[in-house]
Structure 1
Amino acid sequence: MGEHVYALPAQIAEVSRDATLLRRFRDLLARLRPEEAFGARDKIAIKMHVGGPDSYTTVHPQFVRALVDRFADRDNFLYVVDEHRAVRTAWQRGYTQETLGAPVYPISGVVDRYLEDRAVTDSPYFDEIKVSGMVAHADGLIVVSHAKGHASCGFGAAIKNIGIGCVAQQTRNHIHTFENHDNWRLDVLERTERPHEALAQDTDGGRHFSYALARSAHEVLRGFEREKVLCLNVALNVHPYCDCWGLSSPSFVPDIGLFLGHDPADVDEATLRAVQDAPFVPAALPDFMVPADAARTESGHTLERLHGKNPWHAIEAFRLLSAATAREPAAEGGG
């Protein structure tokens, strides 16, 4: 796959099963053969967000099953993981071994204690990051992300799914302190009729949240061979909120399609640009979220106009971390 991001549009060219997005995704996987990047007995975690009690717009099981089926003739073990509380009810939303072709496990164990503590000395945001054991001890990682808005950083997809989704609740809570998301946002919604204007006044909060998020994602991926990380962004049902809220709402852009690649920043960039280029549907939003024509933004992106957070910060920060790592001198081998 090299440095490429592969994009498949949701729009069909003809009324045919061969033209459907799912069929074209299977065809793309058959051409790329991503399974060949993994060792014969590698254990591979599939990180996705299975949503909450009233979610119905998360990633459809068929797309996960298409990935799992690539390994049907191999001696690998694939398993789907997500936060332990969400996993308890995942079956209610169709995420089962029967539909996915792989079992569904809590990412840090049933009580969030299967973790790998990693000391951090190069970031003002962390002293340590607690990486979920089901990812830290895997041989490979497939990141399946529902592309959507996010109140804390503007945009949630691969980097967010890794940086917050693959760590302990303690680390997740710590990242959220930099944006003071929960209570602060509720206060904003209660005290103003045009909350997007007030949200835009705290762009520094979104920036710091995104920087911490990127550092966490970078740490999660440390130790994985690049070709053993595969990121799939599903830009269907693109609504404004994180799936962790346990709800669904109408899409503010038409269905876009799929984006596939090895580097989460590249896949997120391709997705984010496609969201910006897609027709905006303000009628899909609650009245309080419809942005004013003159809403101030750093990036001009639709998602920043909705949430007051520049959605490019996490991508830029992740790339800086990757570049710095690439410049580090290789360790000297033993005699």
Structure 2
Amino acid sequence: MSDCCTDSCGCGKVINAPVVTPVIGSKRVEPGKYKGSAAKVFFSPIIDAEHLIKLYNLVNSEIYGKVAIKLHTGEKHGPNILPRDLVQALQATIPNSNIVETNTLYEGDRYTTESHRETIKVNGWTFCPVDIMDEDGFVNLPVNGGFHLKEVAMGKNIVNYDSMLVLTHFKGHAMGGFGGSMKNIAIGCASGQVGKRQVHGIEGEPPADWNAWPAKEKLMELMADSAKATIDHFGKRITYINVMRNMSVDCDCAGVAAAKPTIADIGILASTDLLAIDQACVDLVYS
């Protein structure tokens, strides 16, 4: 497990991880007192296009070629999804880029490619192409040294990209506890009808009540396997941004049924280390 430290994006404010949090695995890194390397997480308390772009430019040194922007585009009229103008401003600065998504395992507004494309239009993701990566099937990516899986069925088109920006709305999640960068790629890149069954540990038809789906430690380990497959595929050519605004306890999968946020907006974080950025976000929520 990587330790994480927080750094400033130049906006004049630095947030340090709290001394104590109830999250297992969290460890405060004291500057000058830690031997070895520590991943950097850049932070801005200001949530706007200018600071989003500035943060991206701090973590994009390995990004090149055709760039996939992995985004959770949300169910129809989702109240908490990322502002379209924010994402549009960033995407306009990334040459040869577009949004990527996959269909869902549950029967919602993104269950089929046809309904998914309609939902994309309704939610305003019309300023650039949106590639539903499993529209034409899936491709198996290997999981090296995973907990349970040897390979994961990802949306077939993932292999058409040189690099990936994981642009995540950090929020709660009914089964995962929270939805950060790992959830965004672990479930979000897996194909709707094959890969997502693997990641959720479901054989055959999923139970109508999602409360009956495998969860807790088993789900965490399966998501880690899937995320590792995507990260190993891109190598250094993957980077992460988490936007901490409108943080409901519910995922954007809940759409208009999502609970209203009960925590103030915190800011934007960016890192080249998935574990560090998600841990920093959890630390900031608890602090």
What range describes the TM-score normalised by the shorter chain of this pair? 0.7 to 0.9
Deviation of 1:47 (Å): 0.6
1:58 corresponds to which of 81, 104, 107? 81
Match of 2:281 in 1: 271
Task: Mark the runs of 5 or more structure 2 residues left unpaired by the alignment.
Answer: 1-8, 10-37, 104-109, 111-115
Mark the CA change 1:182 to 1:24 in structure 2 (over 3 Å): closer, same or farther. same
- 1:83-94 paired onto structure 2 within 5 Å: 83-84=102-103, 85=110, 86-94=116-124
Q: How many residues align?
A: 236
Q: Whole-Å Cα distance in 2 between the matches of residues 230 and 66 of structure 1?
A: 18
Aligned pairs (5 A) from 1:134-283:
134-169=157-192, 170-177=194-201, 183=209, 185=211, 205-226=215-236, 228-247=237-256, 248-277=258-287
Q: Which moved more, 1:42-51 or 1:244-253?
A: 244-253
Structure 1 residues 41-74: Cα deviation after superposition (integer angstroms, max 9, x where no partner): x111011011112312101123322322323xxx
- Which structure is larger by alpha-carbon Rg, 1 or 2? 1
State the alpha-carbon separation in 1 of the partners of residues 144 and 166 from structure 2: 27
Structure 2 residue corresponding to 1:23, chosen from 22, 45, 50: 50
Q: For residues 152 and 262 of structure 1, do their structure 2 counterparts lie closer, same or farther at Cα, with a shift above 3 Å needed?
A: same
Aligned counterparts of 1:182 and 1:125: Cα–Cα separation in 2: 24
Cα pair 2:74 2:255 within 8 Å, conserved: yes
Alpha-carbon separation, structure 1, partners of 2:155 and 2:196: 11
Contact 1:135 1:141 in 2 (8 A): no
Cross-structure match for 2:16: none
* Corresponding residue for residue 82 of structure 1: 101
Deviations 1:104-138 (A, max 9, x none): 121212x5x1x211355744522431122232331
Paired amino acid for 1:50 = T
- Give the TM-score normalised by the residue count of structure 1: 0.63
Q: 2:154 matched to which residue of 1?
A: 131
Q: Which has the higher contact order (CA 8 A, sep 6+)?
A: 2
CA separation of 1:138 and 1:186: change in aligned 2, threshold 3 A = same
Partner of 2:87, secondary structure, is helix
The alpha-carbon deviation at position 250 of structure 1 amounts to 1.2
Check whether the contact 1:107–1:132 (CA below 8 A) recurs between aligned residues: yes
Q: What are structure 1's unaligned runs of at least 5 residues?
A: 11-19, 188-203, 278-335
TM-score, scaled relative to structure 2:
0.73
1:136 to 1:245, Cα distance in 2 relative to 1, 3 A:
farther
Q: Partners of 1:264 and 1:219 in 2: how far apart?
A: 13
For residues 147 and 81 of structure 1, the distance between their equivalents in structure 2, rounded to whole angstroms, comes to 18
Partner of 2:66: 43
Residues 182/22 of structure 1: CA separation in 2 closer, same or farther (3 Å cut): farther
SS of residue in 2 equivalent to 1:50: coil
Of all paired residues, the percent bearing the same amino acid is 25
Query: 1:5-30 CA deviation, whole Å, 9 max, x = no partner?
Result: 111114xxxxxxxxx63333334445
CA contact (8 A) 1:152 1:181 kept: no
Q: Deviations over 1:210-265 (max 9, x none)?
A: 01101100001113132x21211111000011212223331121111111111111
Counterpart amino acid of residue 208 in structure 1: K
CA RMSD, Structure 1 to Structure 2 (Å): 2.8
- The change in CA–CA distance for 1:261 and 1:120 in structure 2 (over 3 A counts) is closer
Structure 1 distance, partners of 2:51, 2:169, is 18
SS at match of 2:233: coil
Partners of 1:181 and 1:43 in 2: how far apart?
Answer: 38
**Structure number with higher helix proportion:** 1
